[in-house]
């Protein structure tokens, strides 16, 4: 090993990793590198490629590290899954690395029953002892889905140390009904590729592909491409969402078909009949359409209209039911949807099999129940928990807690004291993903490589190392000493190739995607599945159907301890730091409930109290709760925040897929005379006129493209315009691309050291976000208003408006500041000079967009969250106003680089944090003075307008109106 390589490795893992004492102290040093590393320039961040492990999508990630501290993560542009974008969970991963409630060293339960810190040698000794004790009894491993080297290592290790073992690759969202449906119908249980970008009409039966479903960043990019194709006239397809509740994914649709909970399969079946009729195929019992429609609460006309459209717009795509719709017949329902696609001839075109997503390998819930049974019968002597939290993600009624009591020893590798780890007898904390070597392959041929981007923040050990060391001590030679070597050997590449792969972020296929295989239904199979039994006609008096949906921010609850995830408002309700139950106004009227009134939901299994949130876009017979809150143990941010709706479920598995049934349960709902006001950051979603977030129809778009923009841009003013001799920074935000996913908001928090203020301060609207998404509904009436008897089909006209400082050329905030703290730069930015601000707050009063945020206190960043702070951005104290700066630190950095290199800036070279991370590429930043810049072209778009431009603020941000189908 030469000196250069040694230093590189040292910079990558930290020499401290091998010296126990220094591991905890390196981050305490102001100047971490006492002996400077040759390739590291102080003041310039080093970029490391790794993989985001906040969910099983496995997006590639680049971590920006400054002197040993990771201050920002971004998507890896080379990774085929996300191509440089990251969702809110990915951006918030830094708060997993630097979470103040991380387990900082191994813990063991002492005789009094409390977990006490112990040194690693003791912990390893305990592990050996436990392994020896468990000799002939069963050892169980309940861990998250891993791929590649770690997956193999765990198997190898278990085989070596535990003759009798049980291993579950446990993911709470394992899409079992979908896999089982495909297996039943096609003999292939792999999760296929859904080619959203290639489709014309999109029909989603609830899959939240913009939020958590399988690979949300990937599907968001595809959806954005779909919308672009529509804008460009390549197709006129619509996106129709059929579900009991409009999720964020549904809010981006053109139409919502309100189906009764549990009847999605019936609707799919009815649609298939219509499609078959349309295609003059031999109809299979077509006369059942009216009955199916009635059972689903959907009008026959609607079914026929949608079905015909689906058949005609070729190719289209029907997306399956997601986690939220998993009821007792989910597999049959998904099979109906598959057959709908098949009847229309889209299999192999917009649904492509042959490259199954790795989630196909996840265990199903029924296997977890088997584990519980084994535990309950005392057959499990030693249970390993690896990045799983079954005491939270499995309904208590399934009995995991009681069964756990029958397991003598539980070893957890978790990084946080969550509900399950609280019950462990030995805790050997793993590194967080940003500190780990590893790999992750979401699909065959795409292998993302992980490397540590910082030296370990606390005294943790890679689980791979722990396994290898213990195996060695027990006399089993697994061939290598360290986990890093194991990973290296798993990829037999030459050293240069390996390092190139690490730098690139993984081993990716060539650009041309494999076409996948086209599968046709074997004709010998049963012609169609038996019709489903419809749900009971109503939930019953005083009852509503419980509808639990996964969380964009918290996924299955695992990212609830990231404060950004809690403080950035939920994309639909705009609520923070809590839970709510969505009910229809009719249901609210029956209960006599207003927004914020506490509802009590009771089932045979449990009881929860949660404030009501009334919205039209929920089925009147449903009550909808988000999964992910309600932790009883998960650090200071998540503990006691909100409620966990799984407490109400029976925990029964669906047959034949073995999935957890989450839908279809009728719960008793009553109101109690308590008001627990929900902290909601958006006060109203109705625009006074329709002018703030604008939308045009496809027809209007065609007309606009021909005629150009109607409104005159120049407004009379007796003030001179600012001259912009060199650059004029501006931004274009395409509302037709924005899906409202909050990734930009999280990136902004990370980049600009924006503090968290907590629930109480959010109650006073004192959150510090510089950028947020505003939801507005268009005033075009939903279909049900025009045809009152058809409440089943509503037009959706929800517009997501990212709001940030508009960098007005004629800024109202500048002339009112008494001390020149708000000034205009020669490059078109409105600059807030923190050091000069005396805090009169007049600038905020005069800002019509209300984008200026005031530091009401000096906010703290509890260590080690302070290590996440971006050193290029000043920390603001109390009394000072702040706002979006167009990431001026990035602008300056690129300008300095360009000047040093003696060249002009290139368009697209400067990317603001929000622009960089947006999975839908909705934000374009650039130089308006550059005639060839993309932002200049977009600013001239016929869809373009300025928000509140009539106030003559002359904003530097042009919004492009959203395009709706009609």
Partner 1 sequence: MTPRGEAIASEEYRRVTDDVLSAMGPSGPGYRAGLTVTAAMILLGAVAWGFQLIYGMGLAGYTHPIMWAVYITSFVWWIGIAHSGTLISAILFLLRAPFRAAFSRSAEAMTVIAITTAAGFPVIHLGRAWRAYWVFPYPNERQIWITFPSPLILDIFAVSTYLIISMLFFWFGLVPDLAAVRDRSAGWKRTIYGVLSLGWEGKDRQWKHYRMAYALLAGLATPLVVSVHSVVSWDFALSILPGWHNTLFAPYFVAGAIFSGLAMVLTLLVPMRSLLRLEQYLTISRFEQLAKLALFMSLIVTYSYAVEYFTIWYQRDPTEQANLLFKVRGDFAPLFWIMTVCNSIAPLAFFWRSIRRNLLALFVISILINIGMWLERFVIIAGSLARDHVPYSWAPDGYHISLVEAGIFIGSLGWFLFWFLLFAKRLPVLPISELKHDMLKEHREVQAMRIGEVGAARGGERGV
CB of 568 to partner 1, least distance (A): 14
Kindly tell me which of 418 and 570 has the beta carbon lying closer to partner 1. 570
Fill in the DSSP letter of residue 592.
T
CB of 580 to partner 1, least distance (A): 15
* Residues pairing with 802 in the sheet: 773
Q: In the structure encoding, which two tokens stand for residue 208, read together?
A: 């939240």
Kindly tell me which of 674 and 819 has the beta carbon lying closer to partner 1. 819
CA pair distance 178, 258, nearest whole angstrom: 22
> Rule CB under 8 A: is residue 817 a binding residue for partner 1?
yes
Instruction: Please report, as residue ranges, which positions from 163 to 222 form the binding site for partner 1 (by CB under 8 A).
Output: none
Kindly tell me which of 761 and 915 has the beta carbon lying closer to partner 1. 761
Tokens 């609707």 found at: 267
Measured CA to CA in angstroms, residue 616 lies from 74, 252, 784, 794, 877 at distances of 36, 16, 11, 10, 42
Instruction: Please report, as residue ranges, which positions from 422 to 481 form the binding site for partner 1 (by CB under 8 A).
Output: none
Kindly tell me which of 117 and 879 has the beta carbon lying closer to partner 1. 879
> Rule CB under 8 A: is residue 774 a binding residue for partner 1?
yes
Residue from the set 197, 879, 889, 895 that interacts with partner 1 by CB under 8 A: 879
CB of 836 to partner 1, least distance (A): 7
Residue from the set 19, 291, 819, 896 that interacts with partner 1 by CB under 8 A: 819
Strand, helix or coil for residue 692: coil
CA pair distance 549, 210, nearest whole angstrom: 13
CB of 770 to partner 1, least distance (A): 13
Kindly tell me which of 38 and 860 has the beta carbon lying closer to partner 1. 860
Residue from the set 818, 900, 901, 932 that interacts with partner 1 by CB under 8 A: 818
- 114: Cβ–Cβ under 8 A, 6 or more apart, which residues? none
Kindly tell me which of 130 and 880 has the beta carbon lying closer to partner 1. 880
Report the candidate in 55, 54, 267, 52 with the shortest Cα–Cα distance to residue 175.
55
Measured CA to CA in angstroms, residue 372 lies from 427, 638, 953 at distances of 21, 26, 63
CB of 740 to partner 1, least distance (A): 12
CB of 941 to partner 1, least distance (A): 23
CB of 832 to partner 1, least distance (A): 13
> Rule CB under 8 A: is residue 797 a binding residue for partner 1?
no
CB of 95 to partner 1, least distance (A): 23
> Rule CB under 8 A: is residue 689 a binding residue for partner 1?
yes
Binding footprint of partner 1, residue count (CB under 8 A): 53
CA pair distance 102, 810, nearest whole angstrom: 47
> Rule CB under 8 A: is residue 639 a binding residue for partner 1?
no
Kindly tell me which of 179 and 883 has the beta carbon lying closer to partner 1. 883
> Rule CB under 8 A: is residue 749 a binding residue for partner 1?
no
Helix then strand then coil, in percent of the chain rounded to 5, is 30, 20, 50
> Rule CB under 8 A: is residue 881 a binding residue for partner 1?
yes
Burial of 141 (0-12, 13-18, 19+ CB in 10 A): buried
> Rule CB under 8 A: is residue 682 a binding residue for partner 1?
yes
Kindly tell me which of 6 and 857 has the beta carbon lying closer to partner 1. 857
CA pair distance 262, 621, nearest whole angstrom: 11
Would you say the C-alpha torsion 706, 711, 716, 722 has a positive or negative sign? Answer: negative
Kindly tell me which of 205 and 849 has the beta carbon lying closer to partner 1. 849
Report the candidate in 34, 319, 82, 358 with the shortest Cα–Cα distance to residue 916.
82
* Residues pairing with 822 in the sheet: 832
Taking CB under 8 A as the binding criterion, the range among 314-322, 634-642, 810-818, 935-943 that sits at the site for partner 1 is 810-818
CB of 774 to partner 1, least distance (A): 4
CB of 762 to partner 1, least distance (A): 10
CA pair distance 379, 136, nearest whole angstrom: 10
> Rule CB under 8 A: is residue 874 a binding residue for partner 1?
no
CA pair distance 401, 405, nearest whole angstrom: 7
CA pair distance 814, 823, nearest whole angstrom: 6
Instruction: Please report, as residue ranges, which positions from 947 to 966 form the binding site for partner 1 (by CB under 8 A).
Output: 948, 951
Taking CB under 8 A as the binding criterion, the range among 467-475, 662-670, 684-692, 695-703 that sits at the site for partner 1 is 684-692
Kindly tell me which of 28 and 950 has the beta carbon lying closer to partner 1. 950
> Rule CB under 8 A: is residue 719 a binding residue for partner 1?
no
- 294: Cβ–Cβ under 8 A, 6 or more apart, which residues? none
Taking CB under 8 A as the binding criterion, the range among 124-132, 762-770, 783-791, 930-938 that sits at the site for partner 1 is 762-770
Residue from the set 25, 764, 892, 899 that interacts with partner 1 by CB under 8 A: 764
Is it true that the peptide bond before 275 is cis, omega within 30 degrees of 0?
A: no
CA pair distance 959, 966, nearest whole angstrom: 20
Q: HSE-up of 535 (CA within 13 Å, CB side)?
A: 32
Pairing of strands 202-204, 239-243: parallel
> Rule CB under 8 A: is residue 315 a binding residue for partner 1?
no
* Residues pairing with 351 in the sheet: 194, 347
> Rule CB under 8 A: is residue 685 a binding residue for partner 1?
yes
* Residues pairing with 63 in the sheet: 48, 73
Kindly tell me which of 302 and 807 has the beta carbon lying closer to partner 1. 807
Taking CB under 8 A as the binding criterion, the range among 48-56, 758-766, 779-787, 899-907 that sits at the site for partner 1 is 758-766
Kindly tell me which of 498 and 842 has the beta carbon lying closer to partner 1. 842
CB of 575 to partner 1, least distance (A): 12
Kindly tell me which of 183 and 682 has the beta carbon lying closer to partner 1. 682
CA pair distance 939, 958, nearest whole angstrom: 6
Element at 139 (helix H, strand E) = strand 138-143
Instruction: Please report, as residue ranges, which positions from 220 to 239 form the binding site for partner 1 (by CB under 8 A).
Output: none
Kindly tell me which of 59 and 251 has the beta carbon lying closer to partner 1. 251
Q: HSE-up of 364 (CA within 13 Å, CB side)?
A: 21
* CB atoms closer than 10 angstroms to residue 481: 13
Per this entry, what is the length of the chain?
Answer: 966
Kindly tell me which of 545 and 772 has the beta carbon lying closer to partner 1. 772
Kindly tell me which of 632 and 858 has the beta carbon lying closer to partner 1. 858
CA pair distance 623, 157, nearest whole angstrom: 45
CB of 93 to partner 1, least distance (A): 28
> Rule CB under 8 A: is residue 683 a binding residue for partner 1?
yes
Measured CA to CA in angstroms, residue 273 lies from 268, 277, 278, 280, 519 at distances of 9, 6, 8, 10, 21
Instruction: Please report, as residue ranges, which positions from 821 to 860 form the binding site for partner 1 (by CB under 8 A).
Output: 836-842, 844-846, 848-850, 853-858
Q: In the structure encoding, which two tokens stand for residue 603, read together?
A: 């089932």
> Rule CB under 8 A: is residue 776 a binding residue for partner 1?
yes
> Rule CB under 8 A: is residue 766 a binding residue for partner 1?
yes
CA pair distance 446, 389, nearest whole angstrom: 27
Cα distance from N-terminal residue to C-terminal residue, the chain = 66
- DSSP for 694-723 reads -EEEHHHHHHHHHH---S------SSPPPP
Kindly tell me which of 6 and 820 has the beta carbon lying closer to partner 1. 820
Would you say the C-alpha torsion 442, 444, 448, 449 has a positive or negative sign? Answer: positive
792 in Cβ contact with 709 (< 8 Å): no
> Rule CB under 8 A: is residue 815 a binding residue for partner 1?
yes
Is it true that the peptide bond before 489 is cis, omega within 30 degrees of 0?
A: no
CB of 679 to partner 1, least distance (A): 9
Taking CB under 8 A as the binding criterion, the range among 85-93, 340-348, 740-748, 773-781 that sits at the site for partner 1 is 773-781
Contact residues for partner 1, defined by CB under 8 A: 677, 680-689, 692, 761, 764-766, 772, 774-776, 803, 812, 815-820, 836-842, 844-846, 848-850, 853-858, 878-881, 948, 951
């Amino acid at each position: 090993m030469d000196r250069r390589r040694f230093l590189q490795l040292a910079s990558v893992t930290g020499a401290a990793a091998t010296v126990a004492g220094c591991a905890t102290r390196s981050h305490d040093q102001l100047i971490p590198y006492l002996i400077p590393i040759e390739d590291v320039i102080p003041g310039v961040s080093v970029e490391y490629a790794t993989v985001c492990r906040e969910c099983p999508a496995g997006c590639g990630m680049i971590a920006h590290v400054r002197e040993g501290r990771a201050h920002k993560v971004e998507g890896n542009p080379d990774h085929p899954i996300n191509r440089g974008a990251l969702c809110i969970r990915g951006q918030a991963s830094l708060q997993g690395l630097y979470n103040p409630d991380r387990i900082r060293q191994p813990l063991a339960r002492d005789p009094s029953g409390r977990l006490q810190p112990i040194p690693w040698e003791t912990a390893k000794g305990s592990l050996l002892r436990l392994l020896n004790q468990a000799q002939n009894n069963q050892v169980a491993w309940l861990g998250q889905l891993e791929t590649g080297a770690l997956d193999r290592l765990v198997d190898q290790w278990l085989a070596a140390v535990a003759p009798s073992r049980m291993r579950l690759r446990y993911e709470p969202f394992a899409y079992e009904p979908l896999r089982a449906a495909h297996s039943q119908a096609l003999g292939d249980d792999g999760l296929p590729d859904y080619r959203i970008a290639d489709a014309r009409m999109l029909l989603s039966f609830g899959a939240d592909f913009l939020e958590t479903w399988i690979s949300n960043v990937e599907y968001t990019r595809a959806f954005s491409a779909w919308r672009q194709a529509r804008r460009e006239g390549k197709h006129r397809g619509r996106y129709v969402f059929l579900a009991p509740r409009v999720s964020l994914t549904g809010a981006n649709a053109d139409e919502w078909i309100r189906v009764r909970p549990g009847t999605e399969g019936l609707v799919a079946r009815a649609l298939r009949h219509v499609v078959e009729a349309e295609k003059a195929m031999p109809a299979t019992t077509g006369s059942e359409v009216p009955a199916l429609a009635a059972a689903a609460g959907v009008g026959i006309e609607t079914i026929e209209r949608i079905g015909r459209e689906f058949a005609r717009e070729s190719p289209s795509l029907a997306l399956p039911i997601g986690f939220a719709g998993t009821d007792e017949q989910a597999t049959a329902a998904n099979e109906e949807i598959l057959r709908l696609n098949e009847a229309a001839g889209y299999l192999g075109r917009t649904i492509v099999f042959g490259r199954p997503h790795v989630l196909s390998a996840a265990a199903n819930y029924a296997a977890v129940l088997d584990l519980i049974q084994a535990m309950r019968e005392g057959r499990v002597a030693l249970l390993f928990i690896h990045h799983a939290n079954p005491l939270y993600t499995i309904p208590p009624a399934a009995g995991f807690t009681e069964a756990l009591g029958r397991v003598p020893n539980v070893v957890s590798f978790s990084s946080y004291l969550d509900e399950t780890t609280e019950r462990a007898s030995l805790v050997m904390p793993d590194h967080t993903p940003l500190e780990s070597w590893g790999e992750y392959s979401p699909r065959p041929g795409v292998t993302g490589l992980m490397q540590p981007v910082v030296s370990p923040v606390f005294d943790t050990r890679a689980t791979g190392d722990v396994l290898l060391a213990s195996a060695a001590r027990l006399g089993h030679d697994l061939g290598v000493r360290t986990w890093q070597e194991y990973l290296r050997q798993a990829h037999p590449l030459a050293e240069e190739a390996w390092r190139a792969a690490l730098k690139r972020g993984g081993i990716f296929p060539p650009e041309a995607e494999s076409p996948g295989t086209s599968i046709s239904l074997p004709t010998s199979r049963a012609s169609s599945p038996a019709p489903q039994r419809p749900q009971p006609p109503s939930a019953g008096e005083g009852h509503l159907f419980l509808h639990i949906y996964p969380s964009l921010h918290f996924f299955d609850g695992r990212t609830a301890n990231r404060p950004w995830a809690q403080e950035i408002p939920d994309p639909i309700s705009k609520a923070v730091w809590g839970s709510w139950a969505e009910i229809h106004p009719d249901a609210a009227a029956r209960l006599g409930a207003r927004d914020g009134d506490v509802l009590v939901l009771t089932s045979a299994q449990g009881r929860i109290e949660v404030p009501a949130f009334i919205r039209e876009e929920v089925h009147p017979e449903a009550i909808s709760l988000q999964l992910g809150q309600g932790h009883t143990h998960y650090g200071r941010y998540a503990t006691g925040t909100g409620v966990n709706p799984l407490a109400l479920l029976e925990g029964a598995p669906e047959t034949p897929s073995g999935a957890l049934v989450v839908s279809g349960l009728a719960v008793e709902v009553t109101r109690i005379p308590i008001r627990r006001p929900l902290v909601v950051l958006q006060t109203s979603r109705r625009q006074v006129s329709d002018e703030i977030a604008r939308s045009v129809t496809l027809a209007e778009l065609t007309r606009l493209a021909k005629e150009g923009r109607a409104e005159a841009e120049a407004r009379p003013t007796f003030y001179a315009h600012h001259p912009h001799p060199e650059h004029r920074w501006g931004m274009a935000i395409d509302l037709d691309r924005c899906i409202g996913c909050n990734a930009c908001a999280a990136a902004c928090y990370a980049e600009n050291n924006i503090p968290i203020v907590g629930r109480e301060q959010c109650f006073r609207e004192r959150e510090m976000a510089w950028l947020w998404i505003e939801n507005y509904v268009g005033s075009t009436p939903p279909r049900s208003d025009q045809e009152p008897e058809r409440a089943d089909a509503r037009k959706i006209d929800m517009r997501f408006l990212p709001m940030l400082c508009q960098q007005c050329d004629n800024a109202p905030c500048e002339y009112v500041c008494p001390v020149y703290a708000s000034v205009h730069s020669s490059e078109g930015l409105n600059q807030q000079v923190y050091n000069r601000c005396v805090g009169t707050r007049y600038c905020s009063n005069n800002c019509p967009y209300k984008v200026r945020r005031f530091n009401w206190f000096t906010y703290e960043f509890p260590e080690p969250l302070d290590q996440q702070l971006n050193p290029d951005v000043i920390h603001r104290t109390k009394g000072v106003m702040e706002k979006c700066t167009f990431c001026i630190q990035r602008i300056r950095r690129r300008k300095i680089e360009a000047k040093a290199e003696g060249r002009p800036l290139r368009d697209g070279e400067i990317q603001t944090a929000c622009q960089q991370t947006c999975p839908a590429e909705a934000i374009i930043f650039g130089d308006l003075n550059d005639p060839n810049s993309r932002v200049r072209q977009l600013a001239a778009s016929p869809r373009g307008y300025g928000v509140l431009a009539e106030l003559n603020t002359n904003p530097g941000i042009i919004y492009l109106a959203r395009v709706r189908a009609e």
